[in-house]
Amino acid sequence: MNPIALVTGAGGGIGRVTAIRLSRAGYRVALTARDPDRLERAAAECPGPTLVLPVDLTAPGAVESVFADTEDEWGTVGVLVLGAGTATSSPVTRITDEEWRRQLDVNLTAPFRCVRRAVPGMRAAGHGRIVAVASVAAKRGDPYVTAYSAAKHGLLGMVRSVAAELAGTGITVNAVCPGYVDTPMTEESVANIAARTGKTPDEARRLLAGKQPIGRLITPEEVAAAVQFCIDSPGVTGQGLNIDGGAVQS
């Protein structure tokens, strides 16, 4: 029987490409995100069996619902890819409590709840792979992204601690840390920069591309390949892999 993967944030960007890649690799893939139409389109691109689970993972009971539905349909989740995320940009003095909470809820608390729910089944099976999509913002401080950076630093810290706790159980826990990726989230950053600075969208996009030494945006496929590497590498755990064209060397 094909192994089971659950991918959050699977409606677009990195999550969508990762879900399709895992399906092509022979996984049964449960896809979850808020937008059912985008999920259905992503599932239609997967060659193998899929389960579409539209839900807001920050809602009460949502994580339990997603796991229970997957288990009822197929069984224990063996691979968990935490691809859901959101980003905002504001000077620190203008970050509202609501914006701060939203960044932590989506980028840190919901992933934690997913990990907490996934681990017992993986431990019972003696095998599991957890990969969180973090960011180079988990490893450095950039201006105007205080809330996002705090959440992603927390996500990487969680990955490292859980990996240490589960070492020797057959479960690995890693993060991938992309730079600016050619996704709708980056397009939102482009729009914000253009609105704030008066630059054209093309100028703003070139500005972000230039933050990678390779001089271009990272592709979602490159990040998905790093996710696959983490899944396929039993000796790699507790790591934050940079996929940023050399911007952060560690």
Where in the sequence numbering do the catalytic residues fall?
A: 148
Rg of the chain on CA atoms, in Å = 17
Alpha-carbon gap, residue 8 to 53, rounded angstroms: 9
Sequence letter at residue 137: A
Closest CA to 179 of 226, 146, 147: 226
Two structure tokens written together for 78? 């063996």
Which are the contacts of 235, defined by CB distance < 8 A and separation ≥ 6? none
3-state secondary structure of 51: strand
Alpha-carbon gap, residue 3 to 157, rounded angstroms: 28
Closest CA to 135 of 98, 108, 167, 169: 108
Alpha-carbon gap, residue 23 to 39, rounded angstroms: 14
